[in-house]
């Protein structure tokens, strides 16, 4: 279980990386990039950054490529805004959990439409005398 410091550093990096990406990349070029989560090593020297990109498939592919190409620049911006002994080495990974979640919700809605629940019949609990 991560300790409190680990969690605080993770949240601080998440916010700082998101800001750096918003400042460095234009939405029309790479889509709308969101930092969903960060998985950090125990020594805080490396981090996997889970991002999602809203946009068409071309923007998503180009966005991930641009972010990976500018990884060192993003790390240096993070190093300037977050004071740590070591700035973690960042690795960016597409996080498709939101898309998968939306698909599951869509399937559930379709199932509810095709097989509506039978209305509950009132129970006959009262005794008639």
19-24 mean pLDDT: 91
The interaxial angle of helices 71-81 and 57-69, nearest 10 deg, is: 70
What are the domain boundaries of the chain?
A: 4-114
CA atoms of 119 and 43, how far apart (whole Å): 57
Report whether 48 contacts 89 (CB < 8 A): no
Q: What percentage of residues in the chain have a pLDDT greater than 70?
A: 88
More confident residue, 127 or 89: 89
Q: What is 4-114's CATH number?
A: 3.30.300.20
Q: What is the pTM of this model?
A: 0.73
109-114 mean pLDDT: 85
DSSP output for 58-102: HHHHHHHHHHHHTHHHHHHHHHHHS--SSPPEEEEEE--HHHHHH
At residue 117, the pLDDT reads 60
Cβ atoms < 10 Å from Cβ of 64: 18
Determine the longest span between alpha carbons in the chain, in angstroms: 83
More confident residue, 85 or 124: 85
CA atoms of 91 and 105, how far apart (whole Å): 30
List beta partners, residue 35: 51
């Amino acid at each position: 279980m991560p300790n409190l410091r680990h969690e605080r550093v993770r949240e601080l990096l998440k916010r700082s990386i998101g800001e750096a990406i918003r400042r460095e990349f234009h939405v029309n070029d790479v889509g709308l990039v969101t930092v969903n989560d960060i998985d950090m090593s125990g020594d805080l020297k490396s981090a996997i950054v889970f991002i999602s990109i809203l946009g068409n498939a071309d923007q998503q592919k180009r966005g991930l490529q641009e972010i990976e190409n500018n990884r060192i620049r993003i790390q240096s911006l993070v190093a300037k805004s977050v004071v740590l002994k070591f700035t973690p080495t960042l690795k960016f990974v597409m996080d498709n959990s939101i898309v998968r979640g939306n698909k599951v919700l869509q399937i559930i809605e379709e199932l509810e439409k095709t097989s509506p629940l039978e209305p509950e019949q009132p129970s006959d609990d009262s005794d008639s005398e």
